[in-house]
Structure 1
Amino acid sequence: MSIAVIVVDDEPIARHAIVRLLRDDPDIELVGECGDGVSAVQAIRNQSPDLVFLDIQMPAINGMDVVATIGAARMPATVFVTAFEQYAVRAFEANAVDYLVKPFSRDRFAQTLQRAKTRLSAADTGTRGAESIQQVLDALRRREGYLERVPVRVDEKITFVDVDEIVWIKASRNTVEIHLADRVHELRETMTALGERLDPRRFARVHRSVIINVRRVQAIQPWFNGYHVVTMDTGQKLRMSRYQHETFLRLVSMKE
C-alpha cells in the first residue's frame, strides 16, 4: 500500500532525519515537509495525507495548536515527535498513541512506523485515531496549563486571540464561535474540549451552549422561572441556565 506522509518539525536536523528514514520505505510517499505550524495546517488541509509526523514543541503555533486548528476528528493518523520527559511519554503509551522521543534510533523509528501502518490498515482507524489524538492532547494540555491565546484562522492565515479579548463563546455543533468586541471567529473544537482548556477563574459556562469571560460581565439580572440574564460589557445579553446556580453565585461574588 502507498502511504502519503507529511513531516512537521521546526528543527531541520530532526525533520531531515525522519525524511531520510521514510525514503527507505517503498510504501511511503512523502508529500510534504513543514518547518512551522502555519505551513503544517495548510499542507494537511491541501494534501490530505494518511500519516503525519508532528513535532509537539514548535514556536508560535505548536503541535497542539495544529491539531486544534484542524480538529482532532479530522486529523490523519499522527505520530507525535517530542522531547518531553518520561512521565509525559507514559501518557502517550497509556493512550496507545504513536510517538518518537528525540533523539531516536533507526530501530525505534522502524517500530513506530510499523505501528502506524498497522493502525492505518485497521478498519476502524478513523474513530480510534481521533480518540487517541484527543486523549493525548488532553494529557498535554493538563501539563501545559490553561490557554492564554487561542489560534484561529483568518482567511489563509493562522492568528492568535488573547483570551482576555474573548467576551463570550457560543457552541455550534462541533465548532465554537468566539465572540470578541468587534468580530467573531470560528474554531473547529467542541465546547467541552475548549472549556477544559480555559481558566475557570476567568471563564464560566452559564448555559450548555455559552461560556462567558467573567471579567467582561457588566450586570446580572433575575429573569423568570429561576433564570438570569448576564449583560456583558459590549451590551450583549446572554441567558443563564437555572441549573447554573454555583456559577451565578460565583459571578455575583466577583461583581461585589
Structure 2
Amino acid sequence: MRRYSALIVDDERLARNRVRRLLSLDCDIDIVGECANGEEAVAALKENAAQIVFLDVQMPGIDGFGVLEAVDRDRLPVVVFVTAYDAYALKAFEARAFDYLLKPFDRKRFTEVLRRAKAHVAMLEGATVNLRIVELLESLDTRKTDHARIAIRTGGHVVLVKTDSIDWVEAADNYVCLHCGPETHVVRETMNSFEHRLDQNRFLRIHRSAIVNLERIKEMQPWFRGDYQVVLQDGTKLTLSRSYRERLKNVLLRPF
C-alpha cells in the first residue's frame, strides 16, 4: 500500500486537532509533524520530506505565505492552504498552493482535497522517475558513438527509438514529431534541442520545421521561389528552404 506523509501547520490547537482527526481516517497517511507557527513550519519543511502540508494562512510572526517564501521551491511539498478568509484564495494560488480549504469545512470537502493531493503527489513522483530514467538512458546513449538509439518520453512512457527507424522529424510548437514508417512519436521538446541529440552525419536540418534522415532521401525537385522539395523513399515531400540548401548540397557532394 502506498503511503503519504503529511504535515499540519496552524497556530490554533483546535484547528490542528481537527485536521489530524480527519487525516487519521485515511489509512494511507502518515502524520510526520505538527507546527504551531511559521518558524516551526519552515524548520520542519527544511528537515523532513513531507509530501503534503496543510498550512494555515494567518499566523503570528511568519504567516503561511512567508513559510513558502522561506523554503526552496525544489523542496516544497503539495501545499493545501487552510484559512477562514476567502480573500486569500487568489494569493494562495499565486503562491503555488495546490488547493484551498475555507474554514469551516466539512469532512466531504476535506476528503476530496486530500484525495486530489495524494493523486498529485503520485503524478509528480511518477514524472520525476520518468525524467530520471530518460536522463539515465540519454547519458548512456551519449557514450555510444553510433547513436543507435534515442530515449524519449511519450504518452507517459519512456521509449527507446532506433535512430535508423526515423524517416524525418517535424516541429510542432514546443513538440517534435518523429515519423518512423507507419508510427509517429510526439515528444515535448524543441526542435533545436532534439537536433543536438541526433547523429549529425546521418540527420540534417532542411527547414526550420524539418530534419531528415539522409538515407531516406530519394530525389530533389525544384519547387517555389528558389526552394526545393525533398522526396523521401516513401513518397513524402518536404520543403528544402534556401537557407539550408547549401548545407545539404555539401553533404550530398553534388550540385542541384
Q: Using structure 2 for the length normalisation, give the TM-score.
A: 0.47
Q: Using structure 1 for the length normalisation, give the TM-score.
A: 0.47
Q: Which of the two has higher C-alpha Rg?
A: 2
**Higher RCO (CA < 8 A, seq sep 6+):** 1
